[in-house]
Amino acid sequence: MLVPIQFTHHCESYHTAGVQAFTMKLISAAMTLVLCAGTSITTLAGEQNLPEFYAQYDVYRSGVKIAKTDRSFSRMQDGNLLYRSETNVTGLVSMFRQDHIIEESIWQFADGKVIPHSYEYIYSGNKDKDKNIKIAFDWKKNQITNSINGSSWYMPTTEGIVDKLLYQYSIMLDMQAGKSKLTYKVADGGKEKLYEFEALGEETIDTPLGKLKTIKIVRHFPNSTRQSIFWSAPEVGYLPVKLENVDDGVKTIVTITSLTGYGYEKVTQK
């Protein structure tokens, strides 16, 4: 669910990338669930019953803490829903770089379906590589507008398509509903891409929230050695509480440090 920062072990070079899932690139799936823990989406009458939350994560690369990520779900005054992620570098890396990433997805939940309206990605901190990506979903015209730093192009909408952040929340909803097929059509880079995941089974892990039973889920990347695994906890609405990404032999680990919501009141790592 998180967007961690990638850099060399000696901080000589550095670039942003999605760990998707819970990050930041995080999550896709094809899995069979036989669980009945947490809040089931099948009991929800509408979006008003979706609980708001605010979660914080630490990001480690090659064993070194490099960033913090905040992830939240809230309701806007206009009635739309907001799913948001914000990442800032920290520790040793912050002495060299001030990279800052914000992702926001504005959407609605109707008739059990996630309906995206807009997505924005803002990367700043490196003047030569600052980037602003916007995606607008026009369901009346069946058109998606993609814009990068002011340049725009278009693609058609398709049933069920979501953005690069919202699919992560969609996974939470689908797991709560007990769905066995977690495959998502994502508007990614001006194209429709298919994100798929599979379950590896249950695992209980230690977290600042205590010991949590989780479902371990993997995303495979075709024709690539990259692999993303995340641990999603039924007790907190299937929110990912841990993520592990391996790319070119370099491991990035994202762990939850605090949570407000789902019955937790700012539980923070000691």
Instruction: Write out pLDDT tens, residues 66-125.
Output: 999 999 999 999 999 999 999 999 876 666 677 899 999 999 998 888 999 999 999 998
Residues 151-210 have pLDDT tens digits of: 999 999 999 999 999 999 999 999 988 887 889 999 998 899 999 998 888 999 999 889
Average pLDDT over residues 246-267: 89
List, for residues 114-136, the tens digit of each pLDDT value: 999 999 999 998 777 889 999 99
User: What's the Cα-to-Cα distance from 138 to each of 117, 135, 147, 212, 255, rounded to whole Å?
Assistant: 7, 10, 14, 40, 36
Greatest mean pLDDT among 19-33, 130-144, 210-224: 130-144
* Whether pLDDT at 228 is above 80: yes
In the chain, domain spans: 5-261
Reported as a single tens digit per residue, the pLDDT across 23-51 is: 333 322 222 222 222 232 333 345 557 89
Q: How high is the pLDDT of residue 37? A: 27
Q: Which of 2, 58, 51, 49 is nearest to 27 (CA)?
A: 2
Question: Which pLDDT value is given to residue 131?
Answer: 92
Q: What is the pLDDT of residue 48?
A: 57
pTM of the complete model: 0.79
CA-derived radius of gyration, the chain = 18
- Give the whole-angstrom CA distance, residue 263 versus residue 257: 16
Residue 264, amino acid? Y
Instruction: Provide the b/e sequence for 231-250 (b: ≥16 CB within 10 Å).
Output: bbbbbbbbbbbbbbbebeee
Place of tokens 């429709």: 192
Sequence-separated (6 or more) residues with CB below 8 Å from residue 163: 105, 116, 119, 135, 137, 186, 187
Q: Which of 266, 3, 270 is nearest to 133 (CA)?
A: 3
Which residue carries 């939350």 as its tokens?
53
- Backbone φ, ψ for residue 43 (5° rounding): -90, -5
Flag whether pLDDT at 142 surpasses 80. yes
> 4 pLDDT band (50/70/90 cuts)?
very low
Pick 148 or 189 by higher pLDDT: 148
Please tell me the predicted confidence (pLDDT) of residue 239. Answer: 96
> So what's the pLDDT on residue 225?
85
Please name the helix (run of DSSP H) or strand (run of DSSP E) that holds residue 174, with its range, or none: helix 166-176
CA distance 197 to 30: 5
Asked whether the predicted pLDDT for residue 212 surpasses 80, the reply is yes
Tell me the two tokens of residue 107: 């959407």
Give me the pLDDT at residue 27, please. 27
